[in-house]
Amino acid sequence: MASQDIIARSATTTVPPSVRQQQEVAKLIDTTKCIGCKACQVACSEWNELRDEVGHNHGTYDNPQDLTAETWTLMRFTEHERDDGNLEWLIRKDGCMHCAEPGCLKACPSPGAIIKHANGIVDFNQDHCIGCGYCITGCPFNIPRISQKDHKAYKCTLCSDRVTVGLEPACVKTCPTGAIVFGSKDEMKVHAAERIVDLKSRGYDKAGLYDPDGVGGTHVMYVLHHADTPKLYAGPAGPAGDQPFGGVVEGLHQAAGAAGHGRGGIGRVLPLCAGWPPASRRGGAPHAGG
């Protein structure tokens, strides 16, 4: 995307050039339509030319077991016991949420390593990344990963290269059930509202939209059966007005922000000295399952 589309850069107070008016975009993921086929996960890998180690994970359908520098989209499966004693599968497509107020951008100490576009997409520029891991600390959703190959941070780009030329993200194009749709954020909210009305008419009284206010809203949203308890879906905590994940991660974020911006530089060194980020978040091999 052109520089006229950038509205924020990490670690800089430089005013961006005159920003062209752009409509905010969003990806809506309807967990009630997802069948867990992993087509979106494969499409992401194919389009971005990523090849992660598959491995063997016993007792789970998640494969790999976690996001890595070479897995930007991951299907997460949760077996949930309902109040009536029956089991149901809760399946969620995990990846960057593209926050309106991105914690990764605020925490990053390297100028221009993280940028936010006028359409809402948050992107990483590996040419400016110093591999400090502060984006990991700042992310309330635990998304970015540091590559063991080049020591740079990686995550879902919302296919910014495709969106720039008028195409939808690869995961959206490949979804066989229409569980992933893409368009303006306003359109996606209308689409979600219609879907929620339909779900409630069929007995899902707690159905709702996950678009957390704690990060100013996101440009990746979910329709959930159990919107009152989003943590059931192996990931986002809530309710939607709360800080996602809260507690420990938010505390780390605040500490990083205080130490890493103009306070003797110690905040930039501390995570590396302390072995941060941990191996599980550096893009290495995931722990063996079961």
Of residues 76, 43, 69, 100, the one with CA closest to residue 221: 100
Of residues 185, 211, 101, 115, the one with CA closest to residue 155: 115
Rounded CA gap, 278 and 142, in Å? 12
Tell how far CA 142 is from the center of its chain: 8
- φ, ψ dihedrals at 175, nearest 5°: -65, 120
Of residues 133, 162, 151, 165, the one with CA closest to residue 278: 133
SS3 224: strand
Q: If you count them, how many residues does the chain have?
A: 290
Q: Which residues are annotated as part of the binding site for [4Fe-4S] cluster? A: 34, 37, 40, 44, 96, 99, 104, 108, 129, 132, 135, 139, 156, 159, 171, 175
Sign of the Cα pseudo-torsion (42, 47, 48, 53, in order) = positive
Residue where the block lists tokens 């809402």 = 120
Rounded CA gap, 196 and 177, in Å? 17
Q: Which residues are annotated as part of the binding site? A: 34, 37, 40, 44, 96, 99, 104, 108, 129, 132, 135, 139, 156, 159, 171, 175
Cβ pair 119, 126 in contact under 8 A:
no
Rounded CA gap, 225 and 4, in Å? 39
